[in-house]
């Protein structure tokens, strides 16, 4: 199939709708989307009919409301189109009602107390701003998932609300600059990292199967030190996978664009072309799912965990975010005229204020048990939120704040609204790769997210905190007598109060951790530290003011996230115990028995047998460390089970269970290094990382 036919062939896209819908239906549909109005039922009926006909022509028999519950995965429940006829046959039917609203019996999804089991089920509601698509012979309708009282039970609902908020408040501000903007749209391009390993090796590791990461494993002789994998030639088997993946994604309308090898062995990356944030979120969920499926077809397993292997880089997801008007103007683009630049500088300053005030929310949006292993591990930004603007842009803002002349290349006074900005180069040389949130010329790249995350939460936060700053600035500017002076004043105040969040240096250095502490920036190393702050009075007030989340919804989210964290750590602890007691300790015992026999027979043969004896001693000492760690881990896990609530359980995970797991791992990895390969019960790091050839 040629590309023009392939791309989007499985999507009920705008083009398909224009072709297949009666003109007035199409117009009505567009109008409802543009003005965030609900669709009348008769219009929905016509669309549902056209959608079904289109799908049936492609051999589809089922449809599903596709949604993103708080598990962070996507969920679907399939219903067929068939309706019985009186003569004992069937016809294929799909009504507007079925399109708009569904009632999955989804009572097992986490609701954080928002939905008691005796209450009615949650329902799903069509999100017409994200196109329906066909996956595995089923028509998938992107939907939001809510309780009967309309409380959000998913990740899409708050994201859509935040898109409205940032648009509403941003448009108000832009109108003060004389713009005719009708809508401000948040756009995102998520870069996705992942690992590929051979499925045969994967299946021999229960830790990978149950938890997505290795809980044991000594460093292999070769890791990523040569950096020979990064952007290296792609192995044929991986290349075949990537080709298939691209094609599957293109069929689904995902603009998969860039693919390359990453830093760690077996690590790769895929980046799509950016698009509207809710579509990008849906498409990233799909991308992760399709990656797993296509890998399986090629006899490989795709690992999306943030830290599948200790000692080599983990996987992240870079969230490139910008705000674009309905006229296609990106408001983070430095302008060419003085007036444009006043607006640009103000907006960058507002971003600084937003990020400094809400460091906690951005950090929380990237918090998970998996990502805790990655942040601050010299491969990803630290757990401290800061921003990179580059020296020139920072210099300009500082100069405005201090009422100084900005001069670097050419002496140039930056008078807001009077002068054109000096050109600041944003070339690759001054691109800082260590910053958690980097300004990269016309967008902000948030690099804290982990590879397995839905990008919904981060973008909900980015939109909401920016909406709040737009609101405050618009309020002040609309009352100002001298518009330019007021802009300058706002920038000056922001730089004084929030300039501390700007850091252009190396975020991986230990000096930065100390410097950040001096600046009073938050440092939240673990998920538990993060979640304690989620439902603070300020956060509740912010989300409620912009209609993004209610106090109840925030509390329910906190409950779900901490419960999920505890359960994950518990599964990891149990898996470790299982592997230690059933595999590692018995294997080492067997090897020790062999060594002991050797020592004895060497003695009988007249040798001292000392080298073997020393090895036995080393192994036995590690063995007893491991046994102690097993007991410690069991005790810590029992304590966790007895905790009165999930938050206390979480603290026990952080303070006792995880440290005990680390001790057990250290002992086991030590034994691995001293045990003959044929005795070791599962594939080693070398076997896993170099399993695909
Ligand atoms: P890298 O960060 O690896 O250098 P690129 O600069 O090519 O990668 O861009 C990474 C991602 O940023 C891509 O998904 C791209 O589509 C997206 N992107 C580019 N411009 C914008 C923009 N204005 N808004 C949002 N995302 C963007
Ligand atoms: Mg990037």
Does 273 sit in the ligand 1 pocket, CB within 6 Å? Answer: yes
Q: Does residue 332 line the site of ligand 1, with CB under 6 A?
A: no
CA 630 → CA 22, 370, 574, 660, distances in Å?
Answer: 68, 22, 10, 8
Q: Is 316 in the pocket of ligand 1 (CB under 6 A)?
A: no
- Give the helix ranges, DSSP H, for 252-374: 277-297, 338-357, 359-364
- Going by their DSSP bridges, the two strands 300-303 and 267-272 should be labelled as unpaired
Assess whether the C-beta atom of 107 lies below 6 angstroms from ligand 1: no
Q: What is the mean pLDDT of the chain?
A: 92
Local confidence band at 435 (pLDDT 50, 70, 90 cut-offs): very high
Atom of ligand 1 nearest to the CA of 274: 16
**Mean pLDDT, range 506-522, rounded to an integer:** 95
Backbone angles phi, psi at 116, to 5 degrees: -70, 155
**Does the pLDDT of residue 107 top 90, yes or no?**
no
Residue 528 has pLDDT above 50, yes or no: yes
| Residue 519 clears pLDDT 50, i.e. is over it | yes
Cβ of residue 322 lying under 6 Å from some atom of ligand 1: yes
Least distant ligand from the CA of 446: 2
**Higher pLDDT among residues 618 and 33, named by residue:** 618
User: Does this chain's domain 3-154 share its CATH topology with 163-549?
Assistant: no
Report the pLDDT value the prediction gives residue 71, as an integer from 0 to 100: 81
In this predicted model, what pLDDT tens digit does every residue of 539-591 receive, in sequence order? 999 999 999 999 999 999 999 999 999 999 999 999 999 999 999 999 999 99
Residue 117: the pLDDT is 47
Residues contacting residue 538 through CB under 8 Å, at least 6 positions apart: none
pLDDT band per the 50, 70, 90 thresholds, residue 5: confident
Considering only residues 421 and 666, tell me which one the structure prediction assigns the higher pLDDT. Answer: 666
CA-based angle 282:288:289, to the nearest 5?
90
CA distance 365 to 363: 5
Contact residues for 112 (Cβ-Cβ < 8 A; gap 6+):
70, 555, 556, 557, 558, 559, 560, 563
**Angle, nearest 10°, between helix axes 456-478 and 537-545?**
80
Ligand nearest to the CA of 258: 1
In the reported structure, the alpha carbon of residue 389 is separated from the centroid of ligand 1 by a whole-number distance in angstroms of 16
* Tens digits of residue pLDDT in 47-56: 999 999 999 9
Query: Cβ distance 63 to 94 under 8 Å?
Result: yes
Query: 319 has which bridge partners?
Result: 190, 446
- 369-407: per-residue pLDDT in tens? 999 999 977 788 899 999 999 888 898 899 888 887 666
Widest pairwise Cα distance in the chain: 101
The CATH architecture of the domain made up of 3-154 is Roll (3.10)
pLDDT at 422: 57
Closest ligand 1 atom to residue 189 Cα is 14
Burial track 191-207 (b if 16+ CB lie within 10 A, e otherwise): bbbbbbbbbebbeebbb
Comparing CA positions, the residue from 35, 70, 90 lying closest to residue 326 is: 35
Asked if 405 and 382 touch (Cβ cutoff 8 Å), the reply is no
- What pLDDT score was predicted for residue 2? 81
**Tens-digit pLDDT profile for residues 189-225:** 999 999 999 999 999 999 999 999 999 999 988 888 8
Lowest mean pLDDT among 12-21, 275-284, 402-411: 402-411
Compute the Cα dihedral for 27, 32, 33, 38 and give only its sign. negative
Which residues fall within 8 angstroms of residue 420, CB to CB, at 6 or more apart? Answer: 336, 337, 338, 341
Ligand 1 atom 24: residue of nearest CA: 322
- Mean pLDDT for the stretch of residues 351-362: 98
C-beta 459 within 6 A of ligand 1: no
Q: Which tops the pLDDT comparison, 91 or 248? A: 248
- Distance between alpha carbon 529 and the CA centroid of its chain, in Å? 19
Residue 270 Cα to ligand 1 middle (Å): 12
Output the CA–CA distances (angstroms, integers) from residue 395 to 140, 346, 354, 398, 418, in the order listed. 50, 14, 19, 5, 18
347 CA from centroid of ligand 1 (Å): 20
For 14-35, give one letter per residue: b (16+ CB within 10 A) or e: eebbeebbeeebbebbeebeee
pTM: predicted TM-score of the whole model, two decimal places: 0.95
Max avg pLDDT among 24-28, 72-76, 150-154: 24-28
| Residue 317 Cβ contacting ligand 1 at under 6 Å | no
Strand runs labelled E in 312-460? 317-325, 387-388, 406-407, 411-412, 437-439, 444-446
**From residue 397, how far is each of 268, 449, 484, 512 by CA, in Å?**
38, 28, 15, 22
Among 3.40.50.300, 3.30.590.10, 2.70.98.40, 3.40.50.720, name the CATH number for the domain at 163-549.
3.30.590.10
Cβ–ligand 1 distance for 265 under 6 Å, the answer no
pLDDT of amino acid 115: 61
Whether residue 271 has its Cβ less than 6 Å from ligand 1? yes
Separation between Cα atoms, residue 410 and residue 642, nearest integer Å: 67
Distance of CA 8 to the CA centre of its chain: 24
**Closest to 348 in 3D by CA, of 318, 388, 319, 408:** 388
- Is-contact 451 375, C-beta < 8 A? no
- Residue 677 neighbours by CB under 8 Å, 6+ apart: 684
- The answer to whether the beta carbons of residues 647 and 531 sit under 8 Å apart is yes
Mean pLDDT in residue range 1-30: 93
3-state secondary structure 27-88: HHHHHHHHCCCCCCHHHHHHHHHHHHHHHHHCCCCEEEEEECECCCCCECCEEECEEECCCC
Q: Once rounded to an integer, what is the mean pLDDT over residues 447-462?
A: 97
Going from the C-alpha of 158 to that of each of 249, 468, 542, 563, the distances in angstroms are: 26, 15, 13, 20
**Interval 441-460 mean pLDDT:** 96
Give the start-to-end residue ranges of the domains of the chain.
3-154, 163-549, 563-689
263 vs 524: which has the higher pLDDT: 524
List of long-range contacts for 83-92, beta carbons under 8 Å, 24+ apart: 92/52, 92/56, 92/61
Q: pLDDT above 70 covers what percent of the chain?
A: 94
Given the candidates 3.40.718.10, 3.40.190.10, 3.40.50.620, 1.20.120.1560, the CATH classification of the domain at 563-689 is: 1.20.120.1560
- Determine the 3-state secondary structure of 19 from DSSP: helix
Measured in angstroms, how far is the CA atom of residue 444 from the centroid of ligand 1?
Answer: 9
Give the residue from 410, 423, 447 showing the smallest Cα distance to 306: 447
- Alpha-carbon separation of residue 177 from 342, 477, 550, 555 (angstroms): 9, 10, 32, 38
Rounded Cα–Cα distance for residues 82 and 92 (Å): 5
Strand ranges (E), 546-693: none
pLDDT band at 409 (very low <50, low <70, confident <90, very high): very low
CA distance 609 to 615: 10
Tens digits of residue pLDDT in 55-91: 999 999 999 999 998 887 888 888 899 888 888 888 8
Split at pLDDT 50, 70, 90, the class of 338 is low
Buried residues in 75-105 as b, exposed as e (16+ CB within 10 A): bbbebebeeeeeeeeeeeebebebbbebebe
What is the mean predicted confidence (pLDDT) over 125-151?
Answer: 91
CA atoms within 13 A on the CB side of 164: 18
C-alpha 190/C-alpha 316 separation (Å) is 10
- pLDDT of amino acid 70: 86
Bin 217: left if φ > 0, else alpha if -120 < ψ < 50, else beta. Answer: left
C-alpha of residue 191 to centroid of ligand 2, in Å: 6
Q: Please indicate whether residue 191, judged by its CB atom, sits closer than 6 Å to ligand 1.
A: yes
More reliable by pLDDT, 77 or 293: 293
Whole-Å CA distances, 625 to 376, 425, 662, 672: 28, 56, 12, 14
């Amino acid at each position: 199939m040629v590309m023009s036919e392939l791309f989007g062939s499985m999507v009920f896209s705008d083009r398909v709708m224009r072709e297949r819908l009666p003109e007035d239906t199409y117009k009505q549909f567009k109008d409802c989307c543009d003005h965030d109005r609900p669709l009348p039922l008769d219009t929905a009926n016509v669309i549902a009919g056209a959608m079904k006909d289109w799908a049936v022509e492609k051999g589809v028999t089922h449809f599903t409301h596709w949604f993103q519950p708080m598990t962070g995965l996507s969920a679907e429940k399939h219903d067929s189109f068939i309706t019985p006829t009186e003569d004992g046959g069937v016809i294929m039917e799909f009504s507007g009602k079925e399109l708009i609203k569904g009632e999955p019996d989804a009572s097992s999804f986490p609701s954080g107390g928002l939905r008691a089991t005796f209450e009615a089920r949650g329902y799903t509601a069509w999100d017409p701003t994200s196109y329906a698509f066909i996956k595995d012979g089923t028509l998938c309708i992107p939907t939001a998932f809510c309780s009967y009282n309309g409380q959000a039970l998913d990740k899409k609902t708050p994201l859509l609300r935040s898109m409205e908020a940032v648009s509403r408040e941003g448009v108000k501000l832009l109108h003060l600059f004389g713009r005719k903007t009708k809508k401000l749209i948040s756009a995102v391009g998520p870069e996705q990292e992942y690992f590929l390993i051979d499925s045969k090796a994967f299946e021999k590791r229960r830790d990978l199967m149950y938890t997505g990461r290795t809980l044991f494993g000594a460093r292999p002789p070769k890791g990523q030190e040569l950096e020979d994998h990064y952007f290296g030639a792609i192995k044929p088997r991986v290349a075949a996978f990537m080709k298939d993946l691209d094609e599957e994604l293109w069929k689904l309308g995902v603009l998969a664009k860039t693919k390359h090898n990453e830093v760690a062995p077996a690590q790769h990356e895929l980046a799509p072309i950016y698009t509207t944030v809710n579509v990008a979120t849906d498409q990233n969920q799909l991308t992760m799912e399709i990656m797993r499926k296509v890998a399986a077809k090629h006899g490989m397993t795709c690992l999306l965990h943030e830290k599948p292997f200790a000692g080599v880089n983990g996987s992240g997801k870079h969230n490139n975010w910008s705000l674009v008007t309905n006229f296609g103007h990106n408001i983070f683009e430095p302008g060419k005229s003085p007036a444009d630049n006043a607006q640009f500088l103000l907006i960058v300053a507002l971003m600084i204020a937003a990020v400094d005030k809400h460091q906690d929310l951005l950090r929380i949006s990237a918090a998970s048990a998996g990502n805790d292993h990655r942040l601050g591990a010299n491969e990803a930004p630290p757990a401290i939120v800061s921003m990179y603007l580059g020296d020139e842009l920072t210099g300009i803002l500082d100069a405005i704040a201090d009422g100084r002349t900005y001069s670097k290349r050419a002496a140039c006074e930056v008078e807001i609204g009077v002068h054109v900005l000096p050109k600041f180069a944003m070339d690759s040389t001054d691109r800082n790769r260590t910053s958690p949130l980097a300004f990269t010329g016309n967008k902000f790249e948030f690099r804290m997210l982990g590879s397995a995350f839905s990008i919904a939460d981060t973008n909900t936060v980015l939109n909401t905190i920016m909406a709040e700053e737009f609101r405050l600035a618009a309020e002040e500017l609309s009352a100002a007598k001298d518009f330019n002076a007021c802009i300058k004043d706002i920038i000056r105040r922001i730089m004084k109060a929030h300039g501390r969040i700007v850091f252009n240096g190396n975020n991986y250095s230990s000096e930065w951790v100390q410097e950040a502490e001096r600046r009073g920036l938050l440092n939240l190393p673990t998920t538990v530290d993060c979640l304690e702050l989620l439902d603070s009075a300020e956060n509740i007030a912010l989300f409620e003011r912009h209609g993004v989340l209610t106090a109840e919804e925030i509390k329910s989210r906190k409950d779900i996230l901490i419960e999920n964290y505890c359960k994950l750590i518990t599964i990891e602890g149990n898996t470790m115990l299982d592997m230690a007691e059933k595999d590692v300790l018995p294997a080492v015992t067997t090897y020790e028995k062999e060594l002991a026999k050797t020592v004895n027979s060497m003695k009988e043969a007249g040798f001292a047998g000392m080298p073997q004896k020393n090895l036995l001693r080393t192994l036995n000492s590690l063995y007893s460390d491991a046994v102690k760690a097993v007991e410690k881990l069991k005790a810590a896990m029992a304590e966790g089970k007895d905790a009165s609530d999930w938050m206390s359980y979480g603290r026990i995970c952080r303070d006792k269970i995880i440290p005990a797991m680390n001790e057990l791992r250290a002992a086991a990895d030590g034994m691995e290094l001293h045990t003959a390969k044929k005795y070791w019960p599962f594939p080693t790091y070398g076997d896993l990382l170099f399993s695909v050839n």
